[in-house]
Structure 1
Amino acid sequence: MSVYKSSTGMDENIAAVLCYLFAFLGALAFVLLEKKSRFVLFHALQSIFLFVALMIGHVLAGLIPLLGPPLASLLTLAGIALWIVLIIHAGQGKWLKLPWVGDLALHQARQL
């Protein structure tokens, strides 16, 4: 359990898990509300950027005839696997930084 609290009064790790559980909207709420915890802000931003990247990937896969549907299915499975791993790591209080979206989230979290 995390002994640090977020601006919402929740433990940091619980708030970070909620950023992933409620995907885009939950993460957006924490970006708007969080003023104290860089940990929560990082996970909220990473959740948003990952969700957007997956949506863009699905749109692009839909534009590819024949290979698009299997590619979209693989993207969905990868997204679910990432979602589970990120929830577990956030719950354990770990800063699991994904390539590209994690770098962007960390950069933005430092600036806010």
Structure 2
Amino acid sequence: MSPFKSSTGIYENLAGFLCYLFAFVGGVIFLVVERRSRFVLFHALQSIMLFGTLMIGHALIGFLPLIGTIVGLLLTLIGLVLWLVLMVACLQGKWLKLPLFGELAERQLHRM
């Protein structure tokens, strides 16, 4: 466990884990309630951006016959792998920054 607690009273690594466990919704909740921890805010932003993009991608791909099903399965597999990897990284207290979403989350974090 991380020795640092977020402003919610939850350990930072556990709060970051919850941002991903509940995917988009967990990120939104922690973005609203967290006041101090940059670690938690970063992971909340990255969760919102990643899983929001995956949800939009699934919605758009659903309109394509046949190939939409294949691409949808691929998106699901990618989302599942990223979900697991990001949750484990947070529990370990790592700032795992994804190539596109991590950069955007970091930029947004600096503006806050």
Q: TM-score, normalised by structure 2?
A: 0.94
- Distance in 2, matches of 1:73 and 1:22, equals 20
CA drift of 1:8 comes to: 0.4
- Distance in 2, matches of 1:78 and 1:40, equals 23
Equivalent residue number for residue 42 of structure 1: 42
Aligned residues: 112
Residue pairs, 1:2-13, within 5 angstroms:
2-13=2-13
Equivalent residue number for residue 94 of structure 2: 94
SS in 2 for 1:58: helix
CA RMSD of the aligned region, Å?
Answer: 1.0
Residue pairs, 1:50-89, within 5 angstroms:
50-89=50-89
| 1:13-47 alpha-carbon deviations (Å, 9 max, x no partner) | 00000001111222111101111110000000100
Name structure 2 gaps, 5 residues minimum: none
Query: Identical aligned pairs, as a percentage?
Result: 58
CA contact (8 A) 1:62 1:68 kept: yes
CA drift of 1:5 comes to: 1.1
Equivalent residue number for residue 103 of structure 2: 103
- Distance in 1, matches of 2:72 and 2:59, equals 9
Equivalent position amino acid for 1:45 in 2: L
Equivalent residue number for residue 24 of structure 2: 24
- Distance in 2, matches of 1:90 and 1:111, equals 23
Name structure 1 gaps, 5 residues minimum: none
CA drift of 1:65 comes to: 2.5
- Distance in 2, matches of 1:52 and 1:110, equals 21
CA contact (8 A) 1:27 1:47 kept: yes
CA drift of 1:108 comes to: 1.0
CA drift of 1:66 comes to: 2.1
